Amino acid sequence: MKEEENTSRRAFLEKSLVGGISALGVASLFSACDTDVKETGEKVKLLSPDGQIVEVDSAYINTNIPDLKLSEHNIREGVAGKKFVMVIDLSRCKNAKKCKEGCSKMHFLPKERSYVKVEKMQDSEKTAPYWMPMTCFHCDNPPCTKVCPVDATFKLSDGIVAIDNDRCIGCRFCMVACPYSARIFNWGEEMYALDKEEEKAIPEHTACSTHKLGTVEKCDFCPQKGEKNELPDCVSACPNGVFYFGNEYDDAVTNGDETLQLSELLKTKAAFRYLEELGTKPRVYYLPPVNRLFPFKDVEESKNS
């Protein structure tokens, strides 16, 4: 029985080191597969790469987190005097996809990839469907930052939840913790790593994604725009004024065509926050899809019909 346990343990560790969460992440969790390690008898339950719960002696767990460097520039303070907030008017969205295109261009992403999602929503079978754009929600109580073992994702003073791609080890715990599925992983996107000119376009003190292979990234609210009092490209690219963006300290948001008082807008338009009951306190508000500018039209369904 003892020999079977050791064989099972070694097989699990070897498999984990090859195909676990990430090469660096798994290597940092486990000690080397050394048969000379003195077992303690204390068992720790772990999830194997193939989804099985296994027990490993605690002697084989390496609890020392590697001393990873912080980014050379300070990206953790946020833009001074700002507290960014977004309001999305669901009655205006017709899924023109311009917000996604603007995001891709702003962040030097391939055209087919964007930090913005536009989901088809329908609250019940008797109600009409509508389009719902979704960015990162930059929560004031973000669960993603609480699970990161190396402090690679954090909350800034300007409201933005940011990622330090120089520090991220690719464990993807933050992706699991995010209830909005706002984060994406760079499996093999080295082909669009920033070149020298693109790197210069990003101010050193703002927390923008840098497309490092094997790290997590997401919507960052375009802080390099916000510090210059400019709108994120998802906002300015939308032809229908769906997105409003601004500084909560000014109590004002704008979609580029009209500027409104934030507090009054939220009250009079019955604004809500997505999955409010989770207590994440998102910095993105929605206005209900009433008195719509456009009838709902599912482009994908019409193509298939």
Tens digits of per-residue pLDDT, 3-17? Answer: 544 454 444 444 443
∠ CA 211-215-217, rounded to 5°: 60
Statement to judge: residues 265 and 176 lie in one domain? yes
Statement to judge: residues 49 and 96 lie in one domain? no
Positive or negative: CA dihedral 29, 72, 202, 243: positive
Statement to judge: residues 50 and 193 lie in one domain? no
Statement to judge: residues 122 and 265 lie in one domain? yes
Residue ranges making up the domain that contains 32: 2-60
Q: How high is the pLDDT of residue 27?
A: 39
Statement to judge: residues 170 and 207 lie in one domain? yes
Q: 7-21, 93-107, 289-303: which has the highest mean pLDDT?
A: 93-107
Instruction: Give every CB contact of residue 241 below 8 A, 6+ residues apart in sequence.
Output: 89, 92, 255, 256, 257, 258
Domain annotation covers residue 71: no
Give the C-alpha separation, 202 to 206, whole Å. 7
Give the closest residue to 248 by CA, choosing from 137, 87, 85. Answer: 85
Give the C-alpha separation, 268 to 255, whole Å. 18
Q: How high is the pLDDT of residue 195?
A: 79
Q: How high is the pLDDT of residue 72?
A: 55
Q: Residue 117 sits in a domain of what CATH number? A: 3.30.70.20
113-144 pLDDT, tens digit per residue, is: 899 999 999 999 998 999 999 999 999 999 99
Q: How high is the pLDDT of residue 304?
A: 39
Domain annotation covers residue 191: yes
Domain annotation covers residue 302: no
Q: How high is the pLDDT of residue 70?
A: 57
How many independent structural domains does the chain possess?
2
Q: How high is the pLDDT of residue 169?
A: 92
pLDDT band (50, 70, 90) for residue 180? very high
Q: How high is the pLDDT of residue 258?
A: 96
Would the pLDDT of 264 be above 50?
yes
- Of 55 and 83, more confident: 83
Statement to judge: residues 181 and 271 lie in one domain? yes
Statement to judge: residues 126 and 174 lie in one domain? yes
Domain annotation covers residue 73: no
Domain annotation covers residue 299: no
Give the C-alpha separation, 138 to 282, whole Å. 6
Q: How high is the pLDDT of residue 24?
A: 40
